[in-house]
Amino acid sequence: MSTPRPVNVWLSKAAVNGALVLAVVYMLFPLVWLLTAATKDAGGLLAGNAFSFEGFDLGGNLRRLAGHNDGIYFHWYLNSLLYAGLGALACSLISVAAGYAFDKYDFRGKEKLFGVVLLGVLVPTTALALPMYLLASEVGIVNTYGAVLLPVLVNPFGVYLARVFSAGYVPDEALEAARIDGAGELRTFWSIGLRMVMPGFVTVFLFQFTAIWNNFFLPLVMLSDQKLFPLSLGLYAWNSNAHAEPDHYPLVVTGSLLAVVPLVVAFVSLQRHWKAGLTAGSVK
């Protein structure tokens, strides 16, 4: 093995880590701006100095956020939690059940059916949103919680992930043992398969939760009643008014900060799972 000269190594080390630090600055700068901007009143925000605390008024911003339009912001927050929490929970269960079935059972046309699931991964969801809206208005569920919840229960990529996880985490021997003990197939899935595939379940849940929390196009198309809005749509509506009413700027910025917090916390604390999810999709 050739040994490079020490000075050279030191230089390369500085270059590699320096480049990474630059990338991190680019990634984190807008978030730091969001953090400091959320502490400013409209005047301080318009003064535009990111790192001074000119016009510091975080308390006032939070108070105005809570008070604006009868506290509609926190209504949106609850809606987002409901859409994302309930939607992701149901979606993960449905995906894991299907993925487990694809992994553990043999039946005619299985791989063809799985091919249909994979095709579903490739369908651009926003091209679907408009027809979905038109269909929903035919059925009469436009502008209801259901109009936003129902479509997010389907995630073909979740089924794909669940199949990969089921193959990795649920040994066939465990199922054989349950069968010998006389457990029915569904019972076996519920009390053994589902339990063993839990890491996969959490991964699908995390991804779907984020996807729904971030979802914008579908609620934009489906909802007109502000009471049903998730955060993304509410903040968008406020921002659209901000030119006419500059007082909306601090509301949008502080509201955005609070909307980002749960996802950042989730990603920081569940690193293992999102990494596993990304990896399962990419490494063959």
**Shortest distance in whole angstroms from residue 152 CB to other proteins:** 9
**Shortest distance in whole angstroms from residue 188 CB to other proteins:** 8
66 binding other proteins? (CB under 8 A): no
Q: Is 56 helix (H, G, I), strand (E, B) or coil?
A: strand
Sign (positive/negative) of CA torsion 169, 173, 176, 178? negative
Instruction: Name the region of 105 (left: φ>0; alpha: ψ -120 to 50; beta: rest).
Output: beta
The dihedral over CA atoms of 177, 98, 263, 85, expressed in degrees to the nearest 10, equals -100
- Give the x-and-dash track for 94-133 against other proteins (CB under 8 A): xx-xx-xxx--x-x-----x---x--x-xxxxxxx-xxxx
- Give the x-and-dash track for 25-64 against other proteins (CB under 8 A): -xxx-xx-xx--x-------xx-xxxx-------------
69 binding other proteins? (CB under 8 A): no
Query: How far, in whole angstroms, is CA 2 from its chain's centroid?
Result: 47
197 binding other proteins? (CB under 8 A): no
- Give the x-and-dash track for 241-270 against other proteins (CB under 8 A): --x-----x--xx--x--xx--xx-xxx--
First to last CA, the chain: 31
Applying the rule CB under 8 A, the residues between 144 and 163 that interact with other proteins are 150-151, 153-154, 156, 159
**Shortest distance in whole angstroms from residue 236 CB to other proteins:** 6
The DSSP output letter for 226 is: G
Instruction: Please give the Cα distance from 199 to 277 (Å, whole number).
Output: 10
* Residues that contact other proteins, how many (by CB under 8 A): 93
